[in-house]
Chain A
Amino acid sequence: MEIVLGSDKINECIGLMADSIISQIPKNQAIAIIGIPSRGEILAERLSSELSSRLKTEIPFGQLDITLFRDDLNDPHGKSQPIVGSTEIGFDIDDKIIILADDVLYTGRSTRAAMDALVALGRPRALRLAVLIDRPGRELPIQADFTGKKIDHIPDEKTVQVNFVESDGKDQVIII
């Protein structure tokens, strides 16, 4: 097991992501963060709190369940049986700049599913993607707009795992 980011580094990364969101999104635009479970919703909440304190205004956040939009639901070669989760978005997404938050960007398939799930909810002004870890292995033409850390190489048999205090008791990013 290799530790890629420790607790302090994670906070620093999220802080820097918040900074670049503020610098790249026009000031007069309403923004909101929507996380993809599991763990994307935790990143969304943390980004929202960083942004809220910097901008001195409440930046809403929510979570989006993408299970029903996954492309491997009816693929006999797909992963184990998915559990339908819940979508909790307590605000209108129309005309807002929505920042999708996910812990790891890997194949890009969750992001695609999230985009489909989101446009079924309404019509945001624009969609952006924020990920804590950007790792190789893309299967779709998708890239992140805001990245915490980019990992250029991961051995074939290994995978990146993000742990948060809220879900796993500890903040860390590891390769196992």
Chain B
Amino acid sequence: MLKKKQFVWKRKNLLGLRNLSREEIEHILNTAEGFEQITSRAIKKAPALQGKVVVNLFFEDSTRTRNSFAIAANRLSADVVEFTQKNSSVSKGETLLDTAKNLEAMGSDIVIIRHNAGGTPKFLSKNINSCVVNAGDGFCEHPTQALLDVYTIWKIKGSLDGLKIAIVGDIAHSRVARSDIYAMTKLGAEVILIAPPTLMPPAVEKLGVRVSYSLDEVMEELDVINMLRIQFERLGANPFPSVKEYSHSFGLTVDRMKRAKKDIIVMHPGPINRGLEIESEVADGPNSVILQQVTNGITIRMAVLFLVNQAAMTREKIKIKKESLA
């Protein structure tokens, strides 16, 4: 087990991983490991966020992330408010900021936000006092997904240093890929992006990664392969000639798996398009950790909620100390 270092977490918001240090990311992983004790208990609950109000503010559809955050908050005994655009005053024209300020006026402590516009979490964090956690913003970041990805690898391999990790698919439209790249490279892995040129983001060379346009070329050297979902809802006009052709060139098939390392870790952030980016036999096969990712997502989100709340508490403590000295 890794030794727990004395570390003070200072961020009351988790907006992305781009600006996090390796030490900060490792602190989240270490904290998450401590939370596994709760998940394996008879009573899967601890009072760490008792009396705190956590708002799930989702402006985009979600199954995994929304429920995962809700379960994580519940396990820490917080009260969770579910907000959906459809049944809210947003449909009456209320702005995002007004909605958030009103929720805060009702006593929210942590706001978890998903929005299709990049930068929304940051905007929100500048305008409300509650802690803000990004649950996915536009094509920018999805930090908790990347954290659970690296946590899953870290638990299996012990470290990410020197691992070769491929991220395959619709990288241009993927906030998961972006957060993954930040987290994985900071933790010492070599990231290889694999996609048709039409799905590669602009200025990809600035991300500190290797780029390949052929999965077959790199298949044998990979320690981890992360298959992204083809996001039909975000794709414009014909990024590839046909679904069948995409699947033929970039899908993770049983045939391709035969050429991979025996202990390759197969990941997918979900939801899966079975038979498109990944064949069912592979998704359900012995190398797949797709459901472990989901389980680890709860632990990681518990750690994130705990840490941002602790940072807010630390700020309070400093304020009180200053006032008593004044």
A-side interface residues toward B, CB under 8 Å?
65, 67-69, 73-78, 80-87, 116-117, 119-122
Contacts and interface: CB of A to CB of B under 8 A. Distances in A.
B6 A83 contact: yes
A86 B313 contact: no
Contacts of B8: 80-81
Nearest to A94: B42
Contacts of B310: 73, 81-82
B9 A69 contact: no
Interface in B31-80: 31, 33-35, 37-38, 41-43, 45-52, 76
A85 B42 contact: no
A120 B52 contact: no
**Top 3 closest A-B pairs, CB basis?**
A84-B34, A68-B46, A76-B316
A68 B313 contact: no
Contacts of A83: 4-7, 31
B309 interface: yes
Interface of B is mostly: helix
Given A81-B313, A87-B37, A120-B43, 14 more contacts: A67-B34, A68-B38, A68-B46, A68-B76, A73-B47, A76-B313, A76-B316, A78-B317, A83-B4, A83-B6, A84-B34, A85-B34, A117-B46, A119-B43
A86 B34 contact: yes
B313 A120 contact: no
Contacts of B247: none
Contacts of A65: 34, 37
Contacts of B50: 74
Nearest to A77: B320
Contact of A84 (B31, B49, B309, B314): B31
15 contacts: A73-B313, A74-B49, A74-B51, A76-B319, A80-B8, A81-B8, A84-B30, A84-B35, A117-B46, A120-B38, A120-B41, A120-B42, A120-B45, A120-B46, A122-B42
Nearest to B311: A81
B237 interface: no
B76 to A, nearest CB: 7
B106 interface: no
Interface in B241-297: none
Contacts of B309: 74
Contacts of A68: 35, 38, 46-48, 76, 306
Nearest to B309: A74
Contacts of A84: 4, 30-31, 34-35, 303, 306
B325 interface: no
B320 A76 contact: yes
